[in-house]
Amino acid sequence: MEWSALRDLLAVAETGSLSAAARRLGSSQPTMGRRIEQLEKQLKTLLFNRTSKGLILTPVGEQILGYAKNMAENANAIERIASGADQSLQGVVRMTMTDQMGNYWLPTKLSEFRQRYPGLRLEIVVENRTLDLFKREADIAVRFSRPQQLDLVVRKSIDYHYGFYASKSYLENHDRPESLKDLKNHSFISYDETIFSNAALKRLENLIGEQNIVQRYTSNSGVINALTQNLGLSVVGCYFADQDERLERLMPTQFDYSFNAWVVTHADLFKSARIKAVFDFLVEKLAEDATDFAGVSSH
Amino acid sequence: MEWSALRDLLAVAETGSLSAAARRLGSSQPTMGRRIEQLEKQLKTLLFNRTSKGLILTPVGEQILGYAKNMAENANAIERIASGADQSLQGVVRMTMTDQMGNYWLPTKLSEFRQRYPGLRLEIVVENRTLDLFKREADIAVRFSRPQQLDLVVRKSIDYHYGFYASKSYLENHDRPESLKDLKNHSFISYDETIFSNAALKRLENLIGEQNIVQRYTSNSGVINALTQNLGLSVVGCYFADQDERLERLMPTQFDYSFNAWVVTHADLFKSARIKAVFDFLVEKLAEDATDFAGVSSH
DNA sequence: CCATAGCTATACAAATATGAATATTAGTTA
DNA sequence: TAACTAATATTCATATTTGTATAGCTATGG
């Protein structure tokens, strides 16, 4: 039995089709088909039922799947260890962070980074879902909640402050809210709960009332764009909102939420000079900008 | 990273050389070399140090080895499950048992077996060491101690009796021992402790004295052959010794040891019709011959 | 000190696996 | 019902992988 075929099995089972599995593994559909076919021949068992919509695991296939997943975990660990052993300051490092951090904050630091580590290339994965560091979907993540898993290296980096904002033109056409109870008279733009879910936001939404929440976005940028369209008001990160001429902060002394941001990597990877360099760079630069992330209220 | 290459890594690490690993995996030395080389390239890490005597793991390689072993365990489980799912009464079943059981007892049952299950082929692995059912070195084993591991299916099959024997010609030239204390005046042929180690034998050897133990064998057959060469006396299985015209049992009423024999297979495999058929056949035939295994004393 | 055994490394022909292109099938939608 | 979509199956030229044969290296034993 070819171990590699079990990886194929896993991909087919998880994606549901040969074609999708081939896309994930950078292979082709006929190849995947033949590999699964051969695996079945060697194991003398039917692993998938073929349909025109894809492949569905047989009961035996289901049983086997769990073991294949274990193998994948171990294979991932091996890749992490090997990466961790690489002491050269060359190669690629994948990071994941929010769209704003990735698209607006990070670029301002890149020229310095490039100067300091000319051999390193950065890949910034801006994805809304939390990428899996164990599967090495990313090497380093900036998270707004502290991950509790063992095997992770975590550094607290900044207090990221959020405040109430509205666009200036919106304020020209509406009453300016002066206290939290005024919020009931305004439309509110909020966040998709699959992305950004926390107790403070929930309480706020209760205060405002569901009927006033006119839109939900999966990103800070989306909310800011909605604000500039005069859709209403919202809570956004001060660091970015303050830079936006079109926006104005409301009730800065009464309302100032702060979330800790954390830089995270896997302990195996942290042994790598490459990963460590990027990790430390991120922590350093975030510390330098700490006061900016605190927003106008602390200026 | 190619998962199959990790299997190669495991084989090379365990055998110590590319050539030996190739033999084990049924591949060739250049292929193994290239696969390891490619794995190192993909992981960007040196995994082995090459010497003219073979390959030795680097520290990183050592770290990785453990994970590769985990993968192997899972791969083995997959193979067992697949085999267990095979409900056809066709194919090969590998058994392991002592040389006497395998070479002398079993063959007397084979024609009946063949008649009952024409599609099944048997492989009898006569090896002195205990084969690993988890690694599928064998599908079914006959053991003389009850395995304690979970996941195994175990059936008590027979009481296998051992008695004192000497060759008739030996007895013509030596005093016939009438009680255990007479044993001090005789040479004794015993068993290699890596193969057959148990408390009763130890006590007996103490009684006889190390200086009187003139030879050690790893198999019952070896001991019987030594007896017929008039090397001394020994303790052997009654079932075989009684059939041998050249041998005679000594002190049958005073000395009769019995060991339980067990038929064992892995729970995963027991689901297979093929394995179950052979397992049940073995248990059935051993039960039929149970009184024979009890030796002359019970006739 | 030479002969041998066992290993790795290299070269090249043969076997094998791959992917682009295409045919085929089965659901879904207008 | 016909057109569309997304999947699996098939074909074949091409690229890759493999094994045989061979050379080179290094310990070990008489």
Chain A interface includes B2 (CB < 8 A): yes
Please tell me the predicted confidence (pLDDT) of residue B71. 96
Copy the structure tokens of residue B29: 């030395």
Bases of strand C lying below 7 A from some protein CB? 6-11, 17-21, 25-27
Asked if pLDDT for residue B170 goes beyond 70, the answer is yes
Chain A interface includes B62 (CB < 8 A): no
Q: For residues A224 and A230, give the distance between their C-alpha atoms in angstroms, rounded to a whole number.
A: 10
Between the CA of residue B23 and those of A130, B12, B34, what are the distances in Å?
46, 10, 15
- Residue A32: pLDDT band (50, 70, 90) is very high
Question: Which candidate from A45, A75, A77 shows the least CB-CB separation from B3?
Answer: A75
Nearest nucleotide relative to A4: CA against C1' = C17
**Average pLDDT score over residue span A266-281:** 91
- Residue A86: pLDDT band (50, 70, 90) is confident
Between the CA of residue B26 and those of A268, B31, B111, what are the distances in Å?
34, 11, 32
Between A246 and B211, name the one with better pLDDT. Answer: A246
Please tell me the predicted confidence (pLDDT) of residue B77. 93
Burial class (CB in 10 A: 0-12, 13-18, 19+), A171: middle
A–B interface: beta-carbon pairs under 8 A: 87
Q: For residues B246 and B244, give the distance between their C-alpha atoms in angstroms, rounded to a whole number.
A: 5
3-state secondary structure of A103: helix
Between A234 and A204, name the one with better pLDDT. Answer: A234
Q: For residues A264 and A262, give the distance between their C-alpha atoms in angstroms, rounded to a whole number.
A: 6
The structural domains of chain B, ordered by start, are 3-85 (1.10.10.10), 93-158+263-289 (3.40.190.10), 159-259 (3.40.190.290)
- The answer to whether B220 and B144 have CB atoms below 8 angstroms apart is no
Strands A213-217, A188-191: parallel, antiparallel or unpaired by DSSP? parallel
Chain A residues 100-139, Cβ below 7 A from strand C: none
Between B52 and A253, name the one with better pLDDT. Answer: A253
Please tell me the predicted confidence (pLDDT) of residue A299. 40
Enumerate the residues of chain A whose CB falls inside 8 A of the CB of residue B271.
none
Closest-CA residue of A relative to B68 is A74
Closest-CA residue of A relative to B65 is A78
- Residue A69: pLDDT band (50, 70, 90) is very high
Closest-CA residue of B relative to A72 is B71
Cβ A19 to strand C below 7 Å: no
Please tell me the predicted confidence (pLDDT) of residue A212. 84
Question: Which candidate from A70, A77, A82 shows the least CB-CB separation from B60?
Answer: A82
Note the pLDDT tens digit of each residue in B195-254: 666 777 788 888 888 888 888 887 888 888 888 888 889 998 888 888 889 999 999 888
Bases of strand D lying below 7 A from some protein CB? 6-11, 17-21, 24-27
Chain B interface includes A75 (CB < 8 A): yes
Question: Which candidate from A45, A82, A91 shows the least CB-CB separation from B64?
Answer: A82
Chain A interface includes B60 (CB < 8 A): yes
Enumerate the residues of chain B whose CB falls inside 8 A of the CB of residue A45.
82, 85-86
- Of B46, B13, B38, the residue nearest A87 (C-alpha): B46
Q: Which amino acid is at B23?
A: R
**Average pLDDT score over residue span A44-54:** 84
Q: For residues A101 and A125, give the distance between their C-alpha atoms in angstroms, rounded to a whole number.
A: 11
Please tell me the predicted confidence (pLDDT) of residue B299. 39
**What is the residue-wise DSSP string for A19-72?**
HHHHHHHT--HHHHHHHHHHHHHHHTS--EEEETTEEEE-HHHHHHHHHHHHHH
Chain B interface includes A77 (CB < 8 A): yes
CA to C1' distance (Å), from A28 to C29:
29
CB contact under 8 A, B79 and A43: yes
Please tell me the predicted confidence (pLDDT) of residue A255. 85
CB contact under 8 A, B4 and A6: no
Please tell me the predicted confidence (pLDDT) of residue A72. 95
Q: For residues B78 and A63, give the distance between their C-alpha atoms in angstroms, rounded to a whole number.
A: 8
Between A200 and A62, name the one with better pLDDT. Answer: A62
Q: For residues A83 and A90, give the distance between their C-alpha atoms in angstroms, rounded to a whole number.
A: 11
Residue with smallest Cα–C1' gap to D19: B28
CA atoms within 13 A on the CB side of A44: 16
**Average pLDDT score over residue span B75-92:** 89
- What's the residue count for chain A? 299
Question: Which candidate from B3, B43, B45 shows the least CB-CB separation from A7?
Answer: B3
Closest-CA residue of A relative to B3 is A4
- The answer to whether A281 and A116 have CB atoms below 8 angstroms apart is yes
Residue A62 makes CB contacts below 8 A (sequence gap 6+) with: none
Chain B interface includes A64 (CB < 8 A): yes
- The answer to whether A223 and A197 have CB atoms below 8 angstroms apart is no
**Average pLDDT score over residue span A87-107:** 87
Note the pLDDT tens digit of each residue in A134-190: 888 899 999 888 888 878 888 888 888 888 999 999 999 998 988 888 888 888 998
HEC profile for A260-295? EEEEEEEHHHHCCHHHHHHHHHHHHHHHHCHHHHCC
Ranking A6-10, B245-249, B294-298 by mean pLDDT, the lowest is B294-298
Question: Which candidate from A60, A79, A86 shows the least CB-CB separation from B81?
Answer: A60
Q: For residues A95 and A123, give the distance between their C-alpha atoms in angstroms, rounded to a whole number.
A: 6
Q: Of the ranges B9-18, B123-132, B148-157, which is most confident?
A: B9-18
- Residue A199: pLDDT band (50, 70, 90) is confident
Asked if pLDDT for residue B194 goes beyond 80, the answer is no
CA to C1' distance (Å), from B141 to D27:
41
Chain A interface includes B68 (CB < 8 A): yes
- Residue B180: pLDDT band (50, 70, 90) is confident
Enumerate the residues of chain B whose CB falls inside 8 A of the CB of residue A7.
3
Asked if pLDDT for residue B76 goes beyond 80, the answer is yes
Chain B interface includes A136 (CB < 8 A): no
Copy the structure tokens of residue B272: 């297979």
Chain A interface includes B71 (CB < 8 A): yes
Chain A interface includes B79 (CB < 8 A): yes
Q: For residues A166 and A182, give the distance between their C-alpha atoms in angstroms, rounded to a whole number.
A: 14
Ranking A267-281, B16-30, B215-229 by mean pLDDT, the lowest is B215-229
CA to C1' distance (Å), from A290 to D26:
62
CB contact under 8 A, B3 and A6: yes
Question: Which candidate from A63, A75, A81 shows the least CB-CB separation from B63?
Answer: A81
